[in-house]
Amino acid sequence: FHLHAAVSLLEAHLIDFDGDLYGESCTVSFAEFLRGERRFDSVESLVSQLKDDVAEARRVLHC
């Protein structure tokens, strides 16, 4: 999220994708709200939460 961006921006995590899509356009569909925005005290806490988020997304998307 960028407060002063001229256009709306979205950062999305693509599960099991390791390519480079910077500068590309794509369509994103929302399936279910996973959690609200929060700050993390450490990189380790962030990484742990991202792993939990991916596990929950897999459950929601059945993948």
Give tens-digit pLDDT for 18-48. Answer: 999 988 988 999 999 999 999 999 999 999 9
pTM given for the model? 0.73
Q: What is the reported pLDDT for 9?
A: 77
Half-sphere exposure of 63 (CA within 13 A, CB side): 8
Q: Do residues 50 and 43 make contact, with C-beta atoms less than 8 angstroms apart? A: no
In the DSSP assignment, the letter for residue 3 is: T
User: What residue ranges do the domains of the chain occupy?
Assistant: 1-63
The rounded distance, in Å, linking the Cα atoms of 7 and 39 is 24
